[in-house]
A and B are shown apart, each in its own frame.
Chain A
Amino acid sequence: MSWGMGRRETWAELRRYPSALAGVALILLLVALALHTLATVPYDQAVASWRSGEARLPINARPVWSDWLNPGRAPRSQSLIAEEVASAAFPGGRRLTQRIVLDYAYDDFPSELALFLTPRHSEHAAFLRLTWHTPDGREIDLGSRRLVGETRVALSQDRPLERRLGRPAHLGLLAATDGEAVLPGRHTLTLEAVFFDPGAELASELLLYGRVHGLAGTDHQRRDLSLALRWGTPIALAFGLVAAVGTTLSTLVIAAVGVWYRGWVDALIQRLTEVNMILPLLPILVMVGTLYSTSIWLMLGVVVALGIFSAGIKTYRAMLLPIREAPYIEAARAYGASHLRIVMRYMLPRILPVLIPTFVTLIPTFVFLEASLAVLGLGDPVLPTWGKVLNDAQAQSALYNGYYYWVLAPAALLMLSGLGFAMLGFALDRVFNPRLRSL
């Protein structure tokens, strides 16, 4: 019989199925990714960064690989530090002139322009005047402003400037006079600052937000998608594993207890199973999520609680009934083994191997369940998960707007984990299930 097989024989048997090997490879890959993520990105940092986004990341940037047809031609984020060209002191203050030189060579416009200004040793409000010089010799006045403390000047959101240029600054400043195309060459931004503190200094930086960023791109809240994709891996694996272990083991123990004690215990378990069949899992999860909390651990608890009396009890019962009458159980009773001991040490180990395939194929079901809840907007409030990325993508009509990567990357990861466990599970089923082995 199959459950007499040792671990080594199982492995030898399994190696005959290429799909099993592919499945194992996929699972190992995901586990490695999960471990790497846990080791390199601390939990607090991941949660904090996912909650607030990062000011220096572009909005809705494509992943770098999407540029593969024409590598290097889509603008990446570029940070330019100002150099000081002139400085003159006057009584009670200081006049500073800085210049930021931008040699623009990309075919496309950047997605945004912003200026990060950090004045130091400046107690009073300073005065700042910005001028933009294009390669073809035009001079565009970007207006003047007061400068107090650390400031982010969002040039692209400057409405008066947009009205003057006819379009947002990141397009208008970099375009040629006739219109649509980028004007390549040396653009210069001149900053003239007047400080009313003699020792004042200014560190300025012009940030061109790119159109592509990182391996996975960014979303509408300046969040790096690769963070959610990476952190989603350990969460998905943990959720799938815990839910699968919790539901199968508890169901199995309950079935064995029912079979062993018979009578009203068995009857009660059977009736509870029937009640449980009536209870719809997803709507109840939705209800719990709406009324209480969408914490992933609460959801996990509900999934396991509702899975205890699942339909699997009927199957396990049928398998356990003949085992109950086996001679070795009788021998155990004869030497005075307790009920608990017989159930846990004699009956359960007999059918555990049969359970392994079911268990492995169950894991992706729960991985997808977590994603399903997140797609419904009931994802965990703090943790970044694959499902939450999909949910954001759907809420922002990612497919309609052409942000394919936003949907494709989490979907591919979900599919890979689903395929990995399913392929291994199907092969295990054929190894462990003697009636299938010849087919």
Chain B
Amino acid sequence: MGAFLVRRVLFGLLVLWIISVVVFVMFFVAPHDPARLLAGRQATASEILAIRHNLGLDRPILEQYGSWVWKLVHGDLGFSYRGSVPVRDLLGSRIPVTASLAFGAAVIWLVIGVGAGVLAAIKPRTIADRLVTFFALFFYSMPTFLLGLFFLFFFFFKLYTAGFHLFPGSGYVNLKDDPLGWADHLILPWFALALVTAAVYSRLTRGTMLDVLGEDYIRTARSKGISEGRVIVRHALRSALTPVVTQFGIDLGALLGGAIVTENVFGLPGLGQLAVQSISDQNLPVIIGIVIVASLFIVVANMCVDLLYAVLDPRVRLT
């Protein structure tokens, strides 16, 4: 276990290092003038020169990279081109929104996905199974933003015009200020983000559950007279969950990507909205900051998933 832990952490650090190099090369070394990009379109020549000197872009590349990483490690992400706010503070105010959205959606997709998969697996080839299969395929083919638009249209607009003011169409309320409002504002984004991915999980769970339920040890458990519910939850689901955990690790990147899209559909002031805004503003320090923070999150979360996986399935530690 110790060796596995060390190897996994080393790999995570490797990925982070590679990402830092890629980002650095993309933004500071690539065949364009970062100072010009950072200065914005209307900058004068002297302003660009000043920025170049401020950023240390006239120094050797390795030295630049070193000081950039040094700042990163100390949490210094530079200043936003808009209003000279520290990027760190800007991101700090946005992270809770994205985190609320992503975390809630992940919970919903796991519950719906695994639940539907189990339902389909214990009653294979019934109407329930077929329905799960159909909806899985349907939602799997559905782009997140399209589902969000449909939700907006039906569950916000149509309900609203019919006189039901159930869900707000946009905006965000802090969890601390108003927990109910927080959930109310997020419920449509949560489902929009969760259902697409839940489809994958229902099929995955169904497949592995069917495999597991055919195993001898399940037959043994049944023949011992253990109740069917217990067989499914204690014996079958447990081994069926391992691929789900693997898939969850893979999907963390997709979760973040989906969050970006969902925020833009529902007008949530999270990292994704900020990222898209920053592109139209050419606000590079913010974009760099978001990429770095998101990568850090994905790498760390991936590591946690792998460690959880190693706890669930001891064989993994050997490889």
Q: Do A and B bind each other?
A: no
